[in-house]
Amino acid sequence: MVSSTIPIVLASRSLRRMEILRREGVAFQSVEAAMDDPATPPQGDPQKIAIEMATAKARCVAANHPALCENAFVLAADTICHSQGECVGKAETPDEARRILMQMMDGHHTVVTGVALIRRGVLRTWADHATVRLEPVDEKSLSEYVKSEIWFGKAGGYDLEERRRAGWIVHCDGDPDTVGGLSWKHVKTAMAEWPH
């Protein structure tokens, strides 16, 4: 079992991922990966793409910050929505946000979060999945949300917990933290089973 005193470097500046770790009482340092993170993901297998993106982020931070990461767990994640056969990323304009949200409200979609964990050159990767259904909202609610720009930087144009607090009906089959960008319970298990 790995000691809980081993430092964690989160290869992300995602507010939601940091919020999940803080909620769990996890001490960490956050370092953004100096790499291109396209708003629109490539098309293909969402699990493979999410794991590849998470791995690239973890490796980038580990390589660029060797002293900080020398004995630490370097943790990275990438979240993709998959809807109607398409990998859906983050909206960059209000019109795109509206289109993506309308797509997310048209039946179920899958949220895939790829995770990469590196320590001392050892890499472990996996993907967590959740199925989500956003109930359609009225035009006024949708327009106000699009105008607010709360959707910016969020895969699929929404944050599950934030939208639930706002009164939207969001069904989630799976770990809500997977939708939020990081399932801590799986990370914790992986660290506990880490080779010495």
Catalytic positions, written as ranges:
78
Q: Which long-range contacts (C-beta less than 8 Å, at least 24 apart) are formed by 45-49?
A: 46/80, 46/82, 46/87, 46/110, 46/112, 47/112, 47/114, 47/127, 47/129, 49/78, 49/80, 49/87, 49/114
C-alpha to C-alpha distances, 135 to 1, 42, 102, 107, 121, nearest whole angstrom: 43, 27, 10, 8, 44
Kindly report the number of other CB atoms within 10 A of residue 130's CB atom: 20
Identity of the amino acid at 144 = E
Dihedral of the alpha carbons of 194, 180, 23, 57, in degrees to the nearest 10: 50
Integer Cα distance of 135 and 150 in angstroms: 18
3-state helix, strand, coil in the chain (%, to 5): 35, 25, 35
